[in-house]
Amino acid sequence: MIKIKNYDLKDRILGCLYLAGIGDAMGAPSEALSQNEILEKFGGYITEFYGPGDSLYVQGNIPGEITDDTSQMYEMAKAVVKSNGKFTVNDAAEALVSWSKNYPKYYPRNAGATTRFVIGELISGKDPEQVGMTGKTYDRGTTNGAAMRVAAAGLVNPGNLDKATEMAITMSKPSHGTQHAFAGSSAIACGIAEALTQDSTVVSVIEACIYGAKKGYIIGNKEARNASGLNLLPKIFKSIEVAFDTVTMEETLQQLDSIVGNDGSIQSSVASAIGIFLATKGDARKTVIYGANLGGDTDTIACIAGMLSGAFCGLSSIEKDWIEFFEDANPDLKLRELGEDLIQIANKNIK
């Protein structure tokens, strides 16, 4: 089993935040492209930060700049800090509304198929839980937004999978009130919570993701809207199989693409992110590179996978030139300050 020798909780928390953002920024220019189109457009695999080129999703961005993924994660984490860890559904709803107001560059341009619907309803004062359980369109509540913004649920609950699940579901309710979203957000939150522990291994992180997926799905079946679509857990098992059965990056990406999927659904995105984390043995650099080259919803999948590997490896494992480049591209993103606030809550929850 792979295990990180050095342990520093603050380093792990910052690693999660930074690598989520780095994955988002690296995967942004390749969003919606196929693997072959990525290779053709960039002359090979993406291993550095690129500008938007002719991408429809990140026009006006500079190389290394985040998208809606990291900015929503950031706003949700700030709301957790503001609540001093006593996070409610109303806090989650307010975080989404704050995001829409604070990031006019990304909203409504980059808002996902679910979030685009709910922002207006939340602003109008509708009950967040009822808004989140509204159906009407086939993919509402089952897109991957619930997973991409969930980092803080794991970061303030090191080793406590049940509390991480509880907060992940609270975060999901105002927009993604379905059993699939509860399962996907809980899987990632639990993976992060386990990755922060001193004795975590790649295997124990995967086991925590499975625990979260199971528990989130059970709670969702009781409390959330039962949405159509494939269940997450079989997709996670398939992604694990792919990770074990493939050797090269090309093999892994091709198999995840064709068997697990890389679209904007939470089931495919979460399962593929978990498969990437396992295939790279949690390696921080490789994880975001795999995510950026998977094709499909690359920025979100690289962001989610980056959360897991960043929490597992820590900020100290990330290349310094990446960190400096990323910070220069996102001067308003105060991740170090956010990390200081989150660790205060995490330390209280450990005691």
- pLDDT exceeds cutoff 80 at 25: yes
Residue 276 forms part of a structural domain:
yes
pLDDT tens digits, residue range 280-292?
999 999 999 999 9
Distance CA 249, CA 285 (A): 13
Please report whether residue 165 resides in a domain. yes
At residue 106 the predicted structure's pLDDT band, cuts being 50, 70 and 90, is confident
In the predicted structure, residue 247 carries a pLDDT above the cut 50: yes
In a domain, 32, yes or no: yes
Q: How far apart are CA 211 and CA 141, in angstroms?
A: 21
- The tens digit of pLDDT for each residue in 119-154 reads 989 999 999 999 999 977 778 999 999 999 999 999
What total of structural domains would you count in the chain? 1
Domain that holds residue 308: 9-47+56-350
1 within domain boundaries = no
Q: 299 a known binding residue?
A: yes
Tokens of 9: 């909780």
Which of 258, 318, 315 lies closest to 289 in space, CA to CA?
Answer: 318
Q: Would the annotation count 67 as a binding residue?
A: yes
| Per-residue pLDDT tens over the stretch 62-92 | 999 999 999 999 999 999 999 999 999 999 9
Task: Indicate whether 157 belongs to any domain.
Answer: yes
Percent residues over pLDDT 70 in the chain: 98
Instruction: Output the pLDDT for position 112.
Output: 72
Whole-model pTM? 0.96
User: pLDDT tens across 149-181, in order?
Assistant: 999 999 999 999 999 999 999 999 999 999 999
What CATH number should be reported for the domain holding residue 333? 1.10.4080.10
68 is in an annotated binding site: yes
How far apart, in Å, do the first and last CA atoms of the chain sit? 28
Query: How many percent of the chain have pLDDT more than 90?
Result: 89
| Residue 56 pLDDT > 90 | no
In a domain, 2, yes or no: no
pLDDT of residue 9: 96
Residue 1 has what pLDDT? 46
The answer on whether 139 is annotated among ligand-binding residues is: no
What is the reported pLDDT for 224? 97
Mean pLDDT computed over every residue of the chain? 95
**Nearest to 142, CA basis, from 115, 119, 121, 164:** 115
Residue 263 marked ligand-binding: no
pLDDT, residue 77, reads 98
91 marked as binding residue: no
- Please state at what angle helix 179-195 crosses helix 232-245, rounded to 10 degrees: 50
Place of tokens 């820590």: 314
